């Protein structure tokens, strides 16, 4: 029985569905059903649109939209999060899968394996090394890149390159070739989406005491605004179908999408081409740094979204458990031809606003996607590309945070450096922007460690107080500061090193302090330590430094007579 009691909490920790399933109620089922249907109406049109961003056939967006919903129901720790294709992940897939489904599916499988291994090894802390300025720079650049990538569909232009700068140049050069029908419909869809979004944000909540008609009206308006993507795509499809019936078609249509569910099979570990077969090793080499960027960015999106909604609902998120959920979702997703998935902020917000109670709402969303694949793909033929482009632009424009530049200027201007480096280089290549931003943030972090703030108080005794823990890059800075102030003082001062902020030191620091003691002794000066924390004191005592002296507090060190400080091998007061 004791073994079972120990095993149950462990099983609940690794299988979070066991935390809420025993207490599941009919009231929860009703709310989860409503939330799942609402999210499904958003997920289907977004899936088609994001596949376009990824440079893949549109059915792959739907293939990527159901497995994550099912897996996260069992392994996810946040009730609001929904997994599936997103704008950011689709942009990364476009960069690393080379618009080839075989590469995209293999990338999904390998990313899942990496995420699963990271979860088992508890490596979720690696996310802490990606700073907020890097994330903001990446998402803001991605917002602009994805939006411009869809402008060609709004204008009805064909043959536009996908590289950002060439894309802007070609669109400006060929602006005269704009198809009027696509442009009018695309702009109308953008206006409708913006209007419905604004309507939802300003919609007052209906009180229970209000008349039934008022509550029904609120429900209709709220549902329309929440499912705005589905409504706009449906309206645009009806317009396109009407033109098709009349015998003229001024719109560019999505075209045929294969009907039916994807086969359940292993991902292909090689790819046949007209020039031969590309082996597994070559495919992995082609993906390169994408095998690190895609898993980390996928986890980063999911954890950031989960934490944002967890703080509102008072529950905790375990990054390592999220890694396990993401890993299993991507591995199993690769068996149904999914490209890499992650948490979606937009659909998660819809889920939360719909009143979802448990991750079971994802089962409804996934089922709705499967039903769409099985029965509705023939209707997707009439969806105009301009309408899907409007859906994407409407989804990614809020990701651009113009205020971050002003906030960083006020808070810490140095953080503008990784922000701008990431933001600018992401227009060249996404991976260069992310890697460069992380490297710049790392350099700034290392510089702050190597050059900690050191406060020097001059008086009868020279007090030196480092502002943080001492690590080996900082010892030379400390030595230079102490020596320059001690030797320049007239008359020479005795030195007290206030260690109240130092919680740990390493061997290189111990060696540097020993050399500092010897150097000061040559000039007839003494150095004493005060306010040493217990771990640091034990390290220095075990090092048996020649001339080492310490006082429990700064006050005692200041009151002590400097002439009594003797140079002795033990030297401990």
Mean pLDDT of 142-157: 88
Does the structure show a pLDDT above 60 at 265?
yes
What DSSP string runs through 517-532? HHHHHHTT--EEEES-
pLDDT band at 8 (very low <50, low <70, confident <90, very high): low
Mean pLDDT of 470-476: 90
CATH class of segment(s) 454-558: alpha beta
Task: Tell me which H or E stretch contains 299.
Answer: helix 290-313
pLDDT band at 567 (very low <50, low <70, confident <90, very high): very low
User: Tokens 């061997």, residue?
Assistant: 507
Strands 494-498 vs 461-466: parallel, antiparallel or unpaired: parallel
Q: Which of 13-17, 70-74, 147-151, 454-458 is most confident?
A: 70-74
Cα–Cα dist 557/49, whole Å: 70
Check residue 2 and give its pLDDT: 43
Does the structure show a pLDDT above 50 at 571?
no
Check residue 510 and give its pLDDT: 93
Tokens of 10: 């462990």
Contact yes or no for 498/465 (Cβ under 8 A): yes
User: Tokens 């002003």, residue?
Assistant: 406
Does the structure show a pLDDT above 60 at 164?
yes
Does the structure show a pLDDT above 90 at 142?
no
Check residue 3 and give its pLDDT: 43
Does the structure show a pLDDT above 90 at 491?
no
Check residue 47 and give its pLDDT: 92
Check residue 313 and give its pLDDT: 62
List pLDDT tens digits, range 392-407. Answer: 888 888 888 889 999 9
Cα–Cα dist 284/270, whole Å: 10
- Give 467's contacts (C-beta < 8 A, 6+ positions apart): 452, 453, 454, 455, 501
Q: Could you give the 3-state DSSP secondary structure of residue 454? A: strand
**Torsion sign over Cα 21, 25, 31, 33:** positive
What DSSP string runs through 234-246? HHHHHHHHHHHHH
pLDDT band at 553 (very low <50, low <70, confident <90, very high): confident
Check residue 80 and give its pLDDT: 87
Contact yes or no for 369/41 (Cβ under 8 A): no
User: Tokens 């995209």, residue?
Assistant: 104
Which of residues 210 and 559 earns the better pLDDT score? Answer: 210
Q: Could you give the 3-state DSSP secondary structure of residue 551? A: strand
Does the structure show a pLDDT above 60 at 311?
no
Cα–Cα dist 180/191, whole Å: 16
pLDDT band at 564 (very low <50, low <70, confident <90, very high): very low
Check residue 63 and give its pLDDT: 97
List pLDDT tens digits, range 11-21. Answer: 777 789 998 99
Closest CA to 494 of 555, 564, 541, 553: 564
User: Tokens 């903001």, residue?
Assistant: 136
CA 531 to chain centre: 41
pLDDT band at 444 (very low <50, low <70, confident <90, very high): very high
Does the structure show a pLDDT above 90 at 128?
no
Strands 454-457 vs 342-343: parallel, antiparallel or unpaired: unpaired
The pLDDT mean for the chain works out to 87
551 phi and psi angles, rounded to 5 deg: -125, 150
Which of residues 201 and 534 earns the better pLDDT score? Answer: 534
Q: Could you give the 3-state DSSP secondary structure of residue 529? A: strand
List pLDDT tens digits, range 51-94. Answer: 988 999 999 999 999 999 999 999 998 888 899 999 889 989 99
pLDDT band at 34 (very low <50, low <70, confident <90, very high): confident
Contact yes or no for 240/204 (Cβ under 8 A): no
Check residue 573 and give its pLDDT: 34
Which of residues 297 and 112 earns the better pLDDT score? Answer: 112
Check residue 301 and give its pLDDT: 82
Between 45-49, 264-268, 557-561, the lowest mean confidence (pLDDT) is in 557-561
Q: Cα–Cα–Cα angle for 394, 314, 199, nearest 5°?
A: 30
Cα–Cα dist 384/245, whole Å: 15
Contact yes or no for 46/229 (Cβ under 8 A): yes
List pLDDT tens digits, range 198-233. Answer: 888 887 776 666 788 888 888 888 888 888 888 899
Q: Cα–Cα–Cα angle for 526, 528, 533, nearest 5°?
A: 165
532 CB-contact burial (10 Å; exposed 0-12 / middle 13-18 / buried 19+): buried
Check residue 207 and give its pLDDT: 62
Check residue 513 and give its pLDDT: 92
Contact yes or no for 567/547 (Cβ under 8 A): yes
Contact yes or no for 369/40 (Cβ under 8 A): yes
Check residue 31 and give its pLDDT: 87
pLDDT band at 314 (very low <50, low <70, confident <90, very high): low
Helices within 98-211 (DSSP H only): 101-120, 132-155, 164-173, 180-201
List pLDDT tens digits, range 407-432. Answer: 999 999 999 999 999 999 988 877 78
Tokens of 329: 């979702």
- The Cα-based distances of 421 to 293, 294, 298, 414, 429 in angstroms read 17, 20, 21, 12, 12
Cα–Cα dist 24/18, whole Å: 10
pLDDT band at 119 (very low <50, low <70, confident <90, very high): very high
Check residue 304 and give its pLDDT: 76
């Amino acid at each position: 029985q004791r073994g079972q009691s120990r095993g149950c909490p462990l099983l609940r920790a690794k299988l979070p569905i066991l935390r809420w399933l025993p207490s599941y109620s009919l009231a929860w089922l009703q709310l989860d059903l409503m939330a799942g249907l609402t999210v499904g109406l958003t997920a289907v049109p977004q899936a088609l649109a994001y596949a376009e961003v990824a440079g893949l056939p549109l059915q792959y967006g739907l293939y990527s939209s159901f497995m994550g919903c099912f897996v996260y129901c069992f392994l996810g720790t946040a009730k609001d999060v929904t997994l599936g294709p997103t704008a950011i992940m689709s942009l990364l897939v476009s960069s690393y899968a080379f618009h080839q489904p075989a590469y995209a599916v293999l990338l999904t499988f390998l990313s899942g394996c990496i995420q699963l291994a990271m979860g088992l090894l508890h490596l979720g802390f690696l996310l802490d090394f990606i700073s907020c300025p890097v994330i903001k720079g990446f998402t803001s650049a991605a917002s602009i890149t994805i939006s411009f990538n869809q402008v060609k569909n709004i204008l009805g232009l064909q043959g536009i390159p996908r590289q950002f700068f060439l894309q802007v140049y070609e669109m400006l050069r060929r602006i005269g070739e704009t198809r009027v029908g696509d442009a009018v419909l695309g702009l109308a869809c953008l206006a409708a989406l913006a209007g419905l979004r604004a309507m939802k944000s300003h919609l007052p909540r209906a009180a229970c005491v209000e008349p039934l008609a008022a509550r029904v009206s609120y429900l209709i308006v709220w549902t329309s605004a929440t499912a705005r993507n589905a409504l706009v795509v449906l309206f645009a499809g009806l317009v396109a179908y009407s033109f098709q019936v009349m015998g003229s078609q001024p719109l560019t249509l999505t075209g045929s999408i294969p009907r039916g569910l994807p086969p359940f099979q292993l991902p292909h570990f090689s790819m046949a081409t007209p020039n031969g077969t590309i082996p597994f090793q070559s495919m992995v080499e082609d993906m390169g740094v994408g095998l690190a960027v895609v898993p980390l960015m996928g986890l980063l999106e999911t954890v950031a979204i989960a934490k944002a909604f967890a703080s509102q609902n008072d529950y905790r998120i375990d990054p390592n458990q999220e890694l396990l959920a993401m890993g299993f979702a991507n591995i199993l997703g690769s068996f149904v031809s999914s490209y890499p998935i992650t948490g979606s902020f937009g659909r998660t917000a819809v889920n939360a606003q719909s009143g979802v109670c448990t991750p079971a709402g994802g089962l409804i969303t996934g089922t709705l996607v499967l039903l769409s694949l099985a029965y509705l793909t023939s209707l997707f033929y009439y969806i105009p590309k301009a309408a899907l482009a409007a859906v994407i632009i409407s989804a990614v424009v809020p990701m651009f945070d113009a205020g971050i530049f002003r906030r960083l200027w006020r808070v810490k201007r140095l953080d503008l450096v990784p922000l701008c480096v990431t933001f600018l280089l992401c227009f060249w290549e996404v991976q260069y922007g992310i890697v460069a931003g992380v490297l710049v943030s790392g350099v700034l972090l290392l510089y702050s460690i190597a050059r900690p703030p050191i406060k020097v108080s001059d008086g009868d005794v020279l007090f030196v107080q480092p502002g943080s823990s001492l690590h080996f890059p900082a010892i030379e800075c400390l030595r230079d500061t102490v020596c320059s102030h001690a030797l320049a003082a007239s008359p020479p001062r005795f030195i007290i090193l206030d260690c109240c902020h130092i919680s740990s030191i390493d061997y290189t620091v111990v060696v540097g302090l020993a050399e500092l003691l010897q150097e000061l002794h040559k000039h007839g000066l003494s150095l004493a330590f005060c306010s040493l924390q217990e771990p640091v004191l034990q390290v220095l005592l075990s090092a048996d430094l020649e001339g080492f002296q310490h006082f429990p507090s700064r006050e005692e060190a200041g009151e002590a007579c400097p002439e009594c400080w003797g140079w002795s091998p033990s030297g401990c007061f």
